[in-house]
A and B are shown apart, each in its own frame.
Chain A
Amino acid sequence: MLGVSILNGQELTVSGRVTSADDGLGIPGVSVYVKGTFSGTITDVEGLYTLAGVAPADTLVFKFMGFFTATEKVGARSQISVVLTPEAVNIEGVVVTALGIKREKREIGYTTQSFEGATLEKSNSANVLSALSGRSAGVQISSADGVEGGTTRIVIRGNNNLTTDNQPLIVVDGVPLENQPGLTDIGRGQDWGSAINNINQADIAEMNILKGPTASALYGSKGANGVVLITTKRGKKQKGIGISYSYNYKIINPYRYRSVQNVYGAGGPLTLSEPQFQQDSTGTFLYPTATHTNNGPFDKPTSELFGYYGSSVSWGPEMKGQMVKWWDGKMRPWSPQPDNLKSYFGDGNSSSHNVAFSGGSDMGTVRVSFTRTDHTPIIPNSNYDQTTVNLGSNINISEKLKADVAVSYINYNRLNSPNIGESYSSFSKASLYSWPRSWKGIEAANYANPDGSRNDWGGNYPFEYISPYNWWEFYNNNTALSRDKLIGSFGLSWSITPWLTASGRLGLDLTTDQRETRNNPADIAGILDGYYENELSRLKTFNNDFLITAYRDELFGSKLGAKLSVGGTQYQRRYYRTRAKSGKWIDPWLFISSNFEDPEQIIYSSGNRREERNDKDINSMYAFLNLSYDNYLFAEITGRNDWSSTLPPGNNSYFYPSLSMSFIATEAFGIKSHLLSFWKIKGSLAKAATDTQPYQLDYVYYSGLFGNTQTSSLDRTIPPLDLAPQEAKSFEIGTTLGLFDEHLSLDFTWYHIMSDNQILTLPVPASSGATGTVINNGELENSGFEFIMNLVVLNRASLVIETGLNFSRNRNYVVSLGSSSEPLELGNIWGLNGPAIAVREGDEYGTIVGYDYVYHENGQPILSDDGTTYKITDNRVPIGNASPDFIGGWTTRFIYKGFTLSTLVDTKWGGDIYCGSQVIAMQTGQAPETLLERQGGGLPYTDEEGVTRNVGVVLPGVYEDGTPNDKVVHYYFKYMPNAGGWGKVISKPGIMDNTWVKMREIALSYNVPVKVVEKTKIFQSLSVNVVGRDLFYFYSSLPNKINPEGLMGSGNAQGLEWASYPGSRSVSFGITASF
């Protein structure tokens, strides 16, 4: 009692620490005050505070922007530590804008979205861009063919360029990152990924997306597609020894394989009667190697009837375990092989260690981090690892002069990148196009002879369009990529007077890639097919800039504030690549480029070019003026002039301005309501201009030799006469609302972008003497909206429930393709015979063209009189469009005590795909749908031998005169005719709606309570997490579990699928501790 009374009357001194629920680290700058009074303090850099003069009956308030406010009754305590929970809704706050300038959100009139490094790191996705999928409105992320470690495509607000790169500029600590896609070709090849894959997620403090030309106006040409700004971590003053360690282990599981039938095995459509084995003279069943014949049904070649299908045709005898003499001469049972699609895949894993040292003093702060990642993909023999050392430091040289240094060194090593798409040794192609359902994969164990030489299968390999040595090549033809990358940013800022600052920065991105190929010889002598190649490339970019800013508040004694900045950037890109290769070997097992039978035979051509360059300079000057009035009206006016080396002298200097405005209505009209607590209206106008690739201007001749004498050949692309920069004019308007004390926030943006004067290489008919011409024409229009909503459902210190929703829709029209209005093909399957992504005047971008049915007036497709064959259009016509109706994401977060559970649902709604895998699976009888008639579910059909079975179908459609077809034909005519590269085929059946809703991420983390951690005397903080990514689809409109995200290539031709990889999911376990 005594004690209490004493206490009651006494003033206490309370101290404690305020930490973040996110990472357990102290939060500096938190306001700590006694409720209802002005008595308070703020926390120091380690989150520590001491507040005197507190009564036990008082309540302490802990308030910090971006976190939920916490309150604690003092009672008898003198130590009060609290954990603040980050708030999802932060309408107000600071964002990083162009050139790394931090601005109040309320000031800006364009759209940016920011993401904390911790969120991205925790998602543990394949790279930092993939982590954004579903989180950001208007940002579309895709990964080519679904291959790990490959190129990730990111497009913000649709395509602004017909043929050139539509991906945003990525800026790391002020240095533009060279992020050339690894493979854009949709056809074939290896995808080594792009540089963004090398950015270490553990080192990222924050990522900002600047959407639209206004936001990125100050990045000029390079930023015309938007900008992704990445800021790496800097050090901070803290308690303890300042070391943190995290470990992460991820398991990747390919789980979503194409559904196939497992009843019928190999066999071509050679006859209309029941498929049977051929037998030898002893009555032994023979493996059906023949798939095509000159004498097919109706005495016609099978190719004439059904096109050139692959050898994966599975129209053969039922697999009932019968003994069959295999193509290699051995007897084996003809039995179902339900798992043969999996033969080439296995579980992958990735482990990552990160150690970071962080500390600081009055002199500044420093953080050094070391990260090592080892990755074993789902495809064997393609491991990669990465070591990253990152340094981030702020140095206070003097009171007025500060330096900022950020350096990352990355060492990346990768063995092989899988062959994808149409490649001759692509496994995914083989299992779709070459290997039938009865395929047993005997190649895997027998690809080499006992003496180590290559097994040639006695020349009897029966599968076509795939290398008979696929497994041999897989293990014996190795290419290793070794990359060293240095990204450095050295900045200096000087506060000359309170109103005048100057800053400068030197930025460097230096990458050296070495790619060494060693193909082991296939014979015992060590000569045959041996090959060596070595390629060394160096990419060096400098990005140096300066900025001088004058600032004045209360201009002329008014409420007007102004800030004027003048700056410049010098950008230099220098790329050089050299390559050497061996020829037909003379030295056994000697991997060197001089291993050549006849060095004279080295052919010079662009494909074998032994040196490559790509050099470019852009110099820029810019100025911007920021005006503010009474903290509710803001305007920004910018102007920039670029000089680019890639454009001709008359056109290489170009200027473009922007204007953006922001108006805080709540502030202006003095609205102070719980219902409407914040209302901002924003709008902007901007022009952006883009240059082009180097070396396009000269009228050149390529030299060669004929008869040991020089030849001169014209470039098949006609050079442009007077190239000018591409332009994009954009307009955007939007509003942000904070309702119910900002528990609900809504953000809506509508934009319109007109991109004209497009620089593109247009195909021209060969009869002109050339095959293409570079023109400066064509117009693209983008318009769309973005909607973001965040809702705090429950906000208690003990339990927080938040949810967020974003969705966006973009429409992309090809307004004009210039005077010649040639359709422009971006990519195709099967050349001119199959579907393609083409841009045509008046169409939407992303139109899929192909051969369609010819329809009768009554809307039905027209069939031949015998009811077997559909009539086909003469030319390719639009048959679909790949642009989604909208894309969106839904996030939730639950915070309870130290636990945080977050989820992310990601969707792409609408948009077509040409689903090549399904078309081929139908043609080759692999798809489960093809069982129906084979198992007697068809109509009675009498074959050529007079046998009647229930294998008939009536193809829907009408004859030329419009009368409905009623002819019963063999099921081959239903499944087989719609695919193949040899001769025109109807592409329309391959067009499918591609909608999916995916459980992208579920993450659970637990921060061990500070009290417990402190007791250990070792740790400053400790947390563990489990994250499941790409877990499952709630819905996918594609049939037979075909990968809806396995689009071919990362180029502009998005919408074609063919032999994509199976879907994979991952689960990771992580632990983070600081000491």
Chain B
Amino acid sequence: MKNKILLVTMLAMLVPFAACKKDFDELNKNPYATTITSIGPLFNTVTASLRLGWNEQFYVHNEVLYPQTQLAALTSQSWSNLSIGTEEVWTEYYVTLAHIRDIERRLDAIDDPAHPDSLDNVRAMVKILLAYKTFRVTDLFGDMPFFGAGRGYEGTEFLHPAYDSQEDIYVFLLDELKWASEHISLTNETSTGGTFFSIAAYDKLFDGQMLRWKKFANSLRLRHAMRMAEKRPELAAEIISEIIGNNLPVIKGAENVVMMPRAQSWLRESTNWSFREHKNLRMGTTIRDAMSVNDSINGSGFYDPRAFLFFETNNAGNWVAFPQIPDANTPSAGGIPYGLHRDLNYTIKGTGNIYSPFNYYLIRDENDIPEIILTGAEYHFILSEAYFRGIGMAQNANEAAAEYFTGVIASMDFWGQLHDNSAIWLYTSPLYEQANKYDAANKIFSLENDEEKLDLLYAQRWLDAFRQPWEAFSLVRRTNRTPREGDPISFFRLPYPPSESEHNNANWSAQSAAMGGDMSTVKVWWME
């Protein structure tokens, strides 16, 4: 009897072994993430990626692009670790590209033969963001992996993408933008009577307003057509004349494309961090001279009201610029003008803060100061340049000057509104109200020489890009005619991030050899 009980007990212990694989799937299901999603949330990820990276601002913008464009002066090279920044720009771009590829695959899968154009609007939106993001990265690095890139999830053969020429990328993206501009429909019904597939609820950039997408597509075409005007003049002219000649919708005047934290429910903490931790950017003599008639430290020389929005006084209440080209006798800079303590004690900038810093509110406001993607003023500056130089339209100095004027006023208004909209912007120099936005705008009419006028135009476009240093960097490299002290710019591109040479070595080596070394002195394709 006892033996039987034992035998039964022993056998009972075997029961769990009978089902060796029971419930494995459920047990091994990833508890942290879902396997289900759709195009809308993926698209929202792509839009969210338009926000600037923290390290990009710190190590690329503040450390390299501001001093290189001379939009500001760097008082001490405190980090010089550019690769942290390039690594971030690169990774963020390609990770987003993988999401775009995912959306494209999903769009292909839901293609409806009965209504072939029903996906056009969403396809166009994806193409436009792809173009904007890709142009930004290729303008910084030059040639880059593109056509085969971002496809690692499709198979192991895509893990090591080859480099593509910047020219091919430009031509491709400009075509895509043209397609987008032509295919975006402002009606609700497709040509075959179907309804357009819409992800308007996930469109945090334009809230589903397709006209604004169309405008954005055309504005981007203008921006990049002009950028390659020295290398592909015919194609540039063709695009510019097509858009202007046909009066296609563009972002202009008071309209802008921005990432607005409050509207999009995020906090722009990165910018303040990049200044607070970095600490060493100040108003330089180049930008000071571009906005003033003299270097009087009481600020009376500034005629451009934006000067009082871009910068503020030093600890002693004076407007002092750091020499763009310092020498051994330049007193060293210090202070803590970007510290968060200024929320409570605005006036404390630290005794060492002897040079004018960036305006605290401009870099501190996390809700109402936007990250800029494209300003309405830019359109007028591009058009002005096209008239001055006769690209895509007949040369016309008067029209050029008129567009310049409109552009400058649009820029002044843009920056003025930005100041007005900021809820935390409590103090502004009284000189701001005294400065007249027309002084800078009218300046062009006092110049005789068209070349001088063109220089002035470039200077204004450069100033308008004050918080888009990557755009200013392109302008400086393309024209080499922006305000400048010392030698012409010789820093032409960002070196590829170290992870490329480490993990994509064969392709990187081939690229590096083809361009004569992965160096910042190598010109990108569209440079003369």
Contact = CB atoms under 8 A, between A and B. Distances in A.
A822 B503 contact: yes
Nearest to B207: A707
B105 to A, nearest CB: 12
A294 B94 contact: no
Given A546-B14, A694-B27, A713-B45, A771 B98 contact: no
A645 B28 contact: yes
Interface in A768-788: 768-771, 773
Contact of B76 (A294, A308, A652, A874): A294
Contacts of B328: 295, 299
A1022 to B, nearest CB: 45
Contacts of A548: 10
Contacts of B38: 712
B20 A619 contact: yes
B266 A769 contact: no
Given A504-B13, A711-B45, A766-B499, A819 B94 contact: no
B340 to A, nearest CB: 12
Interface string B1-16: 0110010011001101
B33 interface: yes
Interface residues of A, number: 82
Contacts of A833: 83, 498
A765 B95 CA distance: 11
Contact of B17 (A568, A705, A771, A874): A568
A760 B499 CA distance: 19
Contact of A765 (B13, B32, B77, B503): B503
Interface stretch (A339-347, A695-703, A746-754, A907-915): A695-703
Contact of A568 (B14, B35, B158, B505): B14
B27 A645 contact: yes
A645 B24 contact: yes
Contact of A494 (B10, B79, B204): B10
A672 interface: no
B27 A615 contact: yes
B366 interface: no
Interface in B72-101: 75-81, 83-84, 87, 90-91, 94-95, 97-99, 101
A292 interface: yes
Nearest to B21: A643
Interface string A527-551: 0000000000000000010101000
A700 B77 contact: no
Nearest to B505: A875
B300 to A, nearest CB: 30
Contact of B160 (A697, A706, A708, A764): A764
Interface string A483-506: 000000000001010000010100
A767 B264 contact: no
A765 B505 CA distance: 9
B29 A698 contact: yes
Interface stretch (B116-124, B142-150, B455-463): B142-150
Nearest to A771: B91
A1040 interface: no
Interface in A610-630: 611, 613, 615-617, 619, 621
A99 to B, nearest CB: 15
A819 B157 CA distance: 10
Contacts of B76: 292-294, 301
Contacts of B6: 401, 494
B17 A570 contact: yes
Nearest to B333: A294
A614 to B, nearest CB: 9
A619 B27 contact: no
A702 B17 contact: no
Contact of B161 (A398, A712, A716, A768): A768
A646 interface: yes
B41 A710 contact: yes
Nearest to A641: B20
A198 interface: no
Contacts of A292: 76, 78
Given A706-B204, A707-B264, A767 B90 contact: yes
A299 B329 CA distance: 11
Given A706-B44, A875-B501, A766 B156 contact: no
B75 A714 contact: no
Nearest to B38: A712
B154 to A, nearest CB: 9
A832 interface: yes
B527 interface: no
B336 A459 contact: yes
A962 B272 CA distance: 51
A294 B41 contact: no
A705 B152 contact: no
A707 B45 contact: no
A322 interface: no
A196 B37 CA distance: 43
Interface string B191-206: 0000000000110100
A816 B28 CA distance: 29
A983 interface: yes
B42 interface: yes
Chain B interface: which size bin?
Answer: 35 or more
Contacts of A568: 14, 17
A405 B349 CA distance: 71
B29 A768 contact: no
Contacts of A703: 33-34, 37, 41
B517 to A, nearest CB: 9
A936 interface: no
Contact of A764 (B2, B13, B159): B159
B233 interface: no
B445 interface: no
Given A766-B90, A767-B94, A981-B81, A697 B28 contact: yes
Contact of B153 (A544, A643, A718): A718
A769 B150 contact: yes
A652 B22 CA distance: 12
Contact of B27 (A496, A544, A617, A763): A617
B158 A768 contact: yes
B502 interface: yes
A467 interface: no
A709 interface: yes
A982 B21 contact: no
B102 interface: yes
A822 B508 CA distance: 14
A708 B265 contact: yes
A621 B502 contact: no
A649 interface: yes
A664 to B, nearest CB: 36
Interface in B144-185: 144-145, 149-153, 156, 158-161
Interface string B490-505: 0000000111111111
A808 B253 CA distance: 79
A820 interface: yes
Given A294-B76, A606-B32, A698-B30, A706 B264 contact: yes
Nearest to B24: A645
Interface in B122-152: 144-145, 149-152
B145 A546 contact: no
Contact of A712 (B25, B37, B502): B37
A875 B498 CA distance: 9
B424 interface: no
Nearest to A294: B76
13 contacts: A621-B17, A645-B28, A697-B30, A701-B34, A709-B204, A712-B38, A768-B151, A769-B94, A769-B153, A771-B95, A820-B156, A832-B83, A983-B81
Can you list the 9 inter-chain pairs with the closest CB atoms, starting with the nearest?
A769-B98, A768-B152, A765-B504, A707-B204, A712-B41, A700-B33, A706-B48, A769-B150, A712-B37
Given A700-B33, A822-B503, 17 more contacts: A292-B76, A293-B76, A294-B75, A546-B10, A646-B28, A694-B27, A695-B29, A695-B30, A695-B31, A698-B30, A706-B48, A709-B41, A718-B153, A767-B504, A768-B94, A769-B150, A823-B502
